A and B are shown apart, each in its own frame.
Chain A
Amino acid sequence: MTTFWFIVIAFLWTGYFVLEGFDFGVGALLPLLSRSEADRRQVLGTIGPVWDGNEVWLITAIGAMFAAFPAWYSGLLSGFYLPVFLVVTGLIVRGVGLEWRGKVHSRREVALCDAGIVAGSVLPAFLWGAIFGNLLFGTALATVLGGALSLSVAVLHGAVFVALKTTGAVRARARRAALLAAVGAVPVALSTLPSVPGRGPLWTLGTALLAAAALAAGVTLVWGRREGWAFTATATAITATTATVFGVLSAAPLPGLTLAEAASAPYTLTLLTWIGLIALPGVLAYQAWTYWVFRKRLTAQVS
């Protein structure tokens, strides 16, 4: 039961990184992909209906950690106090920026919202990688590289998403941005991923290799303008990376803490399992439906 819940939490984090990963990328790329207000609206329109739902993956992952592994939850959040605080601050300014952007009037206020969106996307995208890098290796170098990896992959993932969801000049710019992001993401990934499985189970070597391969495939597909497949590839790369990280963490989610010590009692875990099994398919179904409703590419608005 403990292992099962660890997998559930890894799954929730994976969902979070895959979904909010492109939100972060889109937010970070906002100034680079747009030349005008219409462009900016087109770029943000790609994530407008879905970003809040994506963020709930984080809230659920954290909530599930609290319920299933209280000691892990409290140890992680209090142990990484300031980085987590900065993540939360980033999410605040980003959320407010996204929600208020369409409701403010002057250009200056819109620019302020945009600044919040960019800062609030870059900061968490970097910090989550830094936190997990530090958790795995405990060194300053790993922290910086972890952050660089998560930020660059998020930017790549976001650029591919914009290319997939738009038409016209923005789409062309997003493709170029994706290729540029790949120049950063691929070397960082190749230098970091192979070292992650070091202390983990053997299969993490496989997922690390898969992540690297998927990333390379993604770049190739962007080059070949196959955006749908490229997005699948970057999503696979993020999934495989998260799986690798949690695979290594399964032995000790925090230094000096085992899963068994951190876990809640079997009663709680069993009940949560049943509720989760009933509710999660519904959540996945209606989130998928959202993406179906907003499946069309966004064209530039003539205003």
Chain B
Amino acid sequence: MDALDLARWQFGVTTVYHFLFVPLTIGLGVYVAGLQTAWLRTGREHYLRLTKFFGKLFLINFAMGVVTGIVQEFQFGMNWSDYSTFVGDVFGAPLALEALLAFFLESTFLGLWIFGWDRLPKRVHLACLWAAVIGSNLSAYFILAANAWMKHPVGYEVVDGRARMTDLWAVLTNSTALAQVPHVVAASFVVAGGFVIAVIGYRVLRERGLGVLPGRPARTITAEDATTPMRRLPDMWRTALRAALVMTAIAGAVVAGTGDLSGQLLREQQPMKLAAAEGLRHDTAGAPFSIAPGVEVPGLLSLLAAHDPAATVQGVDDIQARYEKAFGPADYTPNLPVVFWSFRVMINFGMATVGLSVLGLWLTRKRRGRRGGQRAGQYGGSGEPLPAWFARLCVLALPLPTAAIIAGWLLSEIGRQPWTVQGELMTAASVSPGVSLGEVAITLAVFTVLYGVLALAEGALLLRHVKAGPELPAPATVPPGAVPPARAEETRLTPTLMY
């Protein structure tokens, strides 16, 4: 155990943690902005309630994304000073652009949105949220362009032991970035869509007095249930759920398409990662893909990576031998089990989420011509209940895509090892030479504990707000002084810093 190992752990812990919140910020921001747009266009009360409800959840999560992002920007210099000095000329530019073009936009306009409800004209207020959301998405582009350069460096030359940028356009339009950006951003929309689906599933169960786990035998939904208002899927949740399901399904298709593109780029640019993802030891024509260990589909890996079931895919051991010839003796193989399993978790959990969203779209579809004659056990149109089993399944839409996107990140970054910059700089040569084991140990320990505590706090805070549910319609119709006692307590503690 030396400073390098701990620095790697620290980067892994802080980055994965940061990545728990950021995808949700990216996707949920767009979702909330969409709800507010719908409110402005239709004037329907429930869009406003939904905007405020999901807006609050968005803000709780946003805070974590921001503060954990600060660590990221400092960490390159703190723990990876040799890396930073080597790549700063190229890698620093997208980071500076990210701060200048994206973070200012995001944080300034989000502040205006949070505090501007009563101070700005409605349209301007909505435009502020869109500006903030565009900022979040732009930041994803810049940071992923920087990250793509580590995997497939372009537009540079090495002079005096430092990378020098020769073509910014090449860096910003790196083929790896162009495949990776839509892949990760769309995956973020799947995560956010899944979050919304899970929240609604939980609310629906709660509003019907059911637990998240099936504690008692499933009840048959009778015609009588369907006519009891409390048993119905309220219009508000139905609208919100359908929107989230559509978002998840479409984003899921984009994730699959761009994932396919990334796979083909891997074959050219990072053959070792591709080989590790399958655990393929030797160069193989018609390489198989293991759905589970021992269950191989012949030719599938070749088909995925080259769109040709007979194509040759390079294997780990053969690449190792070639790299030794090219770069000198060293271990060029990443951690195989981690990469292998990350790949499978990413694909399976991701597809399960998309499957769930398609199923949900089917279950919540409108049934025309049946309005008078709904049979017991059918849950289609507006006002009909959502089956409890599906509401419970919905709750899984939170952990599944989150696990998938984290696994995707692990595949991408652990699969890049032992390089920080593919073919140019190794991780072992990137670490800060002047930082001691003790120093990294302190920061790693504090960040891990602090992050753990904050994660629990955020989880509890989100859950509490989900349980409280959307606030009642604006008190325009309620005479002053008639606030119910339970609400009064909340109102007393919340307003100024909330909306």
Contact = CB atoms under 8 A, between A and B. Distances in A.
Interface of A: 37, 41-42, 44-45, 48-53, 55-56, 59-60, 62-71, 73-79, 81-82, 84-85, 88-89, 91-93, 95-96, 98-105, 110, 264-265, 267-268, 271-272, 275-276, 279-280, 283, 286-287, 290, 293-294, 301, 303
23 contacts: A48-B115, A48-B496, A53-B108, A55-B107, A56-B104, A60-B100, A63-B95, A64-B100, A65-B92, A66-B73, A66-B84, A74-B83, A78-B77, A78-B434, A85-B443, A91-B67, A96-B454, A99-B66, A100-B461, A105-B493, A271-B93, A272-B96, A287-B104
Given A103-B465, A105-B464, A67 B78 contact: no
A49 B115 contact: yes
Nearest to B112: A290
A255 B379 CA distance: 72
B71 A88 contact: yes
B60 A279 contact: no
B81 A100 contact: no
A71 B85 contact: yes
Contact of A89 (B78, B439, B450, B494): B450
B92 A63 contact: yes
A84 B103 contact: no
A276 B100 CA distance: 8
Interface string B73-101: 11011111111111111111101111111
A271 B168 contact: yes
Contact of A70 (B84, B101, B108, B495): B84
B19 interface: no
B111 A99 contact: no
A275 B94 CA distance: 11
A41 B115 CA distance: 13
A105 B467 CA distance: 13
B442 A70 contact: no
B435 interface: yes
Q: Is the interface of A mostly helix, strand, loop or mixed?
A: helix
A1 B301 CA distance: 50
A279 B56 contact: no
A73 B92 contact: yes
Interface string B229-241: 0000000000000
Contacts of B116: 49, 293
A74 B76 contact: yes
Contacts of B264: none
Contacts of B83: 74
Contacts, number: 243
Contacts of B492: 303
Interface in B145-189: 159, 162, 164-166, 168
B64 A74 contact: no
Nearest to A101: B497
Nearest to A107: B493
A76 B78 CA distance: 8
Given A41-B496, A56-B99, A77 B92 contact: no
Interface residues of B, number: 80
A160 B70 CA distance: 28
Contacts of B97: 272, 275
Contacts of B270: none
B120 interface: yes
Contact of B68 (A63, A71, A92, A275): A92
A265 B67 contact: no
B104 A293 contact: no
B141 interface: no
B62 interface: yes
B193 to A, nearest CB: 23
B136 to A, nearest CB: 13
Nearest to A120: B67
A55 B76 CA distance: 19
Contacts of A71: 85, 88
Contacts of A75: 81, 85
A64 B434 CA distance: 23
Interface in B214-254: none
Given A60-B103, A99-B62, 4 more contacts: A66-B77, A67-B89, A77-B81, A92-B68
Contact of A279 (B100, B114, B432, B490): B100
A99 B63 contact: yes
B92 A68 contact: yes
Contacts of A271: 93, 165, 168
Nearest to B78: A77
Given A45-B497, A271-B93, A105 B490 contact: yes
B419 interface: no
Given A82-B442, A293-B112, A74 B81 contact: yes
Given A45-B497, A102-B497, A92 B71 contact: yes
Contacts of A294: 115, 119
A159 to B, nearest CB: 20
Contacts of A49: 111-112, 114-116
Interface in B413-459: 432, 434-435, 439, 442-443, 446, 450, 454, 457
Contacts of B110: 52
B297 interface: no
B59 interface: yes
B66 A52 contact: yes
Nearest to A102: B497
The 4 closest A-B pairs by CB, nearest first: A70-B88, A102-B497, A77-B77, A67-B92
Contacts of B168: 268, 271
